[in-house]
Chains A and B, each alone.
Chain A
């Protein structure tokens, strides 16, 4: 197995600053805006985006976390212990503009599950999608509104996003197959 570092800590920070600006530009102000991160990586990124929006506009955009395991379509194919993590959306999402946040966009199936999960909490005015990495290979008609970096990959490769909230070092690594 070969590992190749694609982004370092500074790259990730620059990307998140850019996405924060893009979110503000597209939504013309943060009044109805909420961020919802998909467990686990997406939650950390959502919190960081919220902090950056606070720095830019001096407003706090609420952040929620979403666990999608109960909405997945591959439950009968699971192998390891299916831990259900916390879903915590401490605000009413109805009529809000939700930016769904994930670390890696791949087949699109997680996003499909997240959309279904979100709909059970209310009827948002709009849902947008922000991802740190888009690695291609979509299996569903889903695309992101904000992309940190497009990284073409082979199917047997893997993208690992290590964030300092959970890892010793912050980086994005491409792990190639055999």
Chain B
């Protein structure tokens, strides 16, 4: 296992599978009365979030506490960063506290990669700009493996705002590595001009999800969109939203996934989000188990 997890590309297929299996073991720990294990007692983690995040930060923090890590949350808005300290100085200062792990989220792509090279601590990327979100891809793979028995051979449709989605980017890499076939579905304005080799692109939602084993809806990232990529949210739902009528086109046992937070009525109909095929809340639980596995296994 490498020192850091900044990209899904950093880990081999075998390491990815080992992480998924370990996450499933950690999930069993989370079902116990005592949900804490002493595995990383005496080690320290700093959560360094340069971008607003509630669920990912909470998930990491819970995972860290379940592993008995000492957890420091470095709140960027109230730190010296607003006084003009450079990123590297911030990291060097934090490293001087004597930490072992650094979980970082940053609005700019590539920041965790840069920091990983500058520090002895293990760096986990909790999302960098529109680039990568490796732990999300791993938790999605865990959910698929648990519900479908495996990831290999699954037809996975990723739908919506692919262009601005680090979740999509990491998922494509992870799913292809594990042998799934990946479809990207959405309006042409929200699909990259050069999609990764091997994925199929659909501009028509009905074609895109037909027969799929997994329908993964993405959040429309209104905050990252400087310009108009589609006329209105209403029109987006009409053409690329997941409604109950559309879902029947997918395999009858298809899983409905969403990384959250959901825009109900924009990319996913409210009744679909709560239907028996939806594993959206399971993804949240698996997120804690995956983050425990990642932090535990990095070397």
Contacts and interface: CB of A to CB of B under 8 A. Distances in A.
B32 A71 contact: no
Nearest to A69: B39
Interface of A: 67, 69-71, 75, 78, 81-88, 116, 120-122
Contacts of A69: 39
Contacts of A71: 37-39
A132 to B, nearest CB: 25
Contacts of B22: 83-84
20 contacts: A70-B37, A70-B39, A71-B38, A71-B39, A75-B40, A78-B299, A81-B1, A81-B18, A82-B297, A83-B18, A84-B22, A84-B293, A84-B296, A86-B25, A87-B28, A87-B29, A88-B28, A120-B34, A120-B36, A121-B32
A121 B38 CA distance: 14
Nearest to A85: B25
Contacts of A75: 39-40
Nearest to A67: B25
A73 to B, nearest CB: 9
A87 B21 CA distance: 13
A166 B296 CA distance: 27
B15 interface: yes
Interface residues of B, number: 21
Nearest to B42: A76
Given A71-B39, A75-B39, A75-B40, A84 B26 contact: yes
Contacts of A84: 22, 25-26, 293, 296
Contact of A120 (B28, B32, B299): B32
Contacts of B25: 67, 84-87
Contacts of B1: 81
A37 to B, nearest CB: 16
Contacts of A86: 25, 28
B25 to A, nearest CB: 4
Contacts of B293: 84
Interface string B256-299: 00000000000000000000000000000000000001001101
A120 B36 CA distance: 9
A81 B15 CA distance: 8
Nearest to B14: A81
A85 B40 CA distance: 17
A71 to B, nearest CB: 6
A86 B29 CA distance: 10
A84 B28 CA distance: 11
A144 to B, nearest CB: 24
Contacts of A85: 25
A18 to B, nearest CB: 34
Nearest to B35: A120
A81 B297 contact: yes
B165 to A, nearest CB: 30
Nearest to B297: A82
Contacts of A78: 299
A70 B297 contact: no
A64 to B, nearest CB: 12
Interface in B109-142: none
Given A70-B37, A82-B296, 4 more contacts: A70-B296, A71-B38, A120-B37, A121-B32
Interface string B24-52: 01101100111011111000000000000
Nearest to B24: A86
A121 B29 CA distance: 10
